[in-house]
Amino acid sequence: MKPISLSCLFIVLVVLRCAEAQTPTAQTPTAQTPTAQTPTAQTPTAQTAASAVTVGNGAQLRQAVAQAKPGTRIRLLPGEYGNGFFFTNLKGRPGKPIVITAADAKNPPVFTGGSEGIHLSEVEHVELHGLAFTGQSGNGLNIDDGGSYETPSHHVVLRGLRVSDIGPSGNHDGIKLSGLDDFCVENCTIERIGGQGVDMVGCHRGVIENSVFRHTNEETSSGIQAKGGSRNIVIRRCRFERMGGRAINIGGSTGLQYFRPPLKKPPHYEAKDIRVEGNTFIGGGTPVAFVGVDGATVRYNTIYNPARFALRILQETRAPGFVASRNGKFTDNLIAFRSDRWGDNGVNIGPHTAPETFTFARNFWYCLDNPARSRPTLPTPETTGVYGHAPLFRNADKGDLRLRPGSPAAKMGAHALPK
């Protein structure tokens, strides 16, 4: 029997820690000035860099990061820190990550304005806790591999971040991840983003969990996108409120030169082995879109009042060697919709796709304004679907989509996700 690698042990620990996280209460980041009760900043020194140091402004933060070693914990006092922080080759070790964290989780340090708040490049075993980003024109937080596609950044934890009001519409993201492996995003609140809340290009073995994504419209932007060769990503127990045209874009459209790893022998795909489970979707154009996918599972989600569709099957990258969007599974979901907001009877199918390879099973469908119209038009027959029965939400008008006792939908939806 082969010994278990330290890398595998880290991934297991990250997933376990994500599972214990609780869904956050969303708060808009606000800057606060340190008070007399707030811990005072320390000037980083060689003695403190390998253990813990407290900083209170941008210059001290830069100095502390420059001196950081495996196991260093950098605590940021409340206040505004500005923007434009670029840190490269920041490397902790297994069991000794470099942690940049809020000194007071209730009064987070805020990175304001500019093109980017923080940009991390070619990093390993790094964690960010309790930071806030707002008002950036490009990306709130950017993490990448420095363009070295064969050597990704890896083992990164993002916990309790608050990201809001980023960019105009377009490719301006709350959290942008390019070439990142073995990562966890948990307990984050991401609101009013021009592009994607979390945008992944060529990322692998990641978990996004227990986070909230909000927007004020149902047409532009997305909550989460995984494309550019992304694989083995789990999106679990998140909440999406009016999160643009596609709350979760499984796949997408990526320039061929940006795929990680670089494209070599076909078949090629935008995304593969993606799992979307236990999430709640309110409004938005469509909760999920399968776009250039080679296998993805959407299960045990609650979908309430989408503006157009329950799902879309699309193909945007049509270069030679790319598979037609295929092998999707849509099972055990609870979908409540209105007929006057329902397009293509629930499922939008684009050209150059393989809808005949998709599987539908045990979904609970209910038309809120006309229960007799609850059955969708699916590309393949559904196994043991349920149609036309009221799910008995506790208070859907106020966003409480938990079910009342005796609900016929007790075995479907986000609340029924197996532990």
Per-residue pLDDT of 384-397, as tens digits, reads 999 999 999 999 99
pLDDT interval class at 32 (50, 70, 90): very low
What tens digit of pLDDT does each residue of 115-161 get? Answer: 999 999 999 999 999 999 999 999 999 999 999 998 999 999 999 99
**Distance in angstroms (rounded) separating the CA atoms of residues 240 and 303:** 10
**Distance in angstroms (rounded) separating the CA atoms of residues 54 and 188:** 23
Report the run of H or E that residue 49 belongs to, with start and end.
helix 46-49
In terms of phi and psi (left: phi > 0; alpha: psi -120 to 50; beta: otherwise), the region of 278 is left
Structure tokens at 248: 């979760």
Neighbours of 149 (CB within 10 A): 17
Q: Please give the domain boundaries of the chain with CATH numbers for all domains.
A: 6-416 (2.160.20.10)
| % pLDDT > 90, the chain | 84
- Cross-strand partners of 196: 222
Tell me what pLDDT residue 169 has: 81
**Distance in angstroms (rounded) separating the CA atoms of residues 111 and 297:** 36
User: What are the angstrom distances between the C-alpha of 387 and each of 235, 286, 333, 374, 376?
Assistant: 27, 20, 12, 5, 9
**Distance in angstroms (rounded) separating the CA atoms of residues 171 and 194:** 7
**Section 218-224 average pLDDT:** 83
pLDDT score of 86 more than 70: yes
pLDDT score of 206 more than 70: yes
**Distance in angstroms (rounded) separating the CA atoms of residues 101 and 230:** 28
What tens digit of pLDDT does each residue of 242-299 get? Answer: 998 999 999 999 999 999 999 999 999 999 999 999 999 999 999 999 999 999 999 9
Poorest-pLDDT segment among 37-41, 105-109, 166-170, 386-390 = 37-41
**Section 220-235 average pLDDT:** 95
pLDDT interval class at 19 (50, 70, 90): very low
Which value, to the nearest 10 degrees, does the dihedral of the CA atoms of residues 170, 174, 179, 184 take? -150
**Distance in angstroms (rounded) separating the CA atoms of residues 106 and 129:** 12
The tokens 């506790």 sit on which residue? 394
What tens digit of pLDDT does each residue of 314-362 get? Answer: 999 999 999 999 999 999 999 999 999 999 999 999 999 999 999 999 9
Do 169 and 220 meet the contact criterion of CB atoms below 8 Å apart?
yes
| Closest of 333, 286, 336, 337 to residue 312, by C-alpha | 286
Q: What is the pTM of this model?
A: 0.89
pLDDT score of 10 more than 80: no
Tell me what pLDDT residue 11 has: 42
Q: Residue type at 67?
A: Q
User: What are the angstrom distances between the C-alpha of 247 and each of 276, 392, 410?
Assistant: 11, 24, 24
**Section 54-58 average pLDDT:** 98
Tell me what pLDDT residue 40 has: 58
Q: State how beta strands 239-243 and 280-282 pair.
A: parallel
Mean pLDDT of the chain: 90
Tell me what pLDDT residue 34 has: 35
Residue scoring higher pLDDT (84 or 27) = 84
Tell me what pLDDT residue 218 has: 64
Tell me what pLDDT residue 14 has: 43
Do 222 and 244 meet the contact criterion of CB atoms below 8 Å apart?
yes
Structure tokens at 326: 């295929």
Return the exposure string of 335-370: e unless at least 16 CB atoms fall within 10 Å of the residue's CB, then b. bbbeeebbeeebbbbeeebbbebbebebbbbbbbee
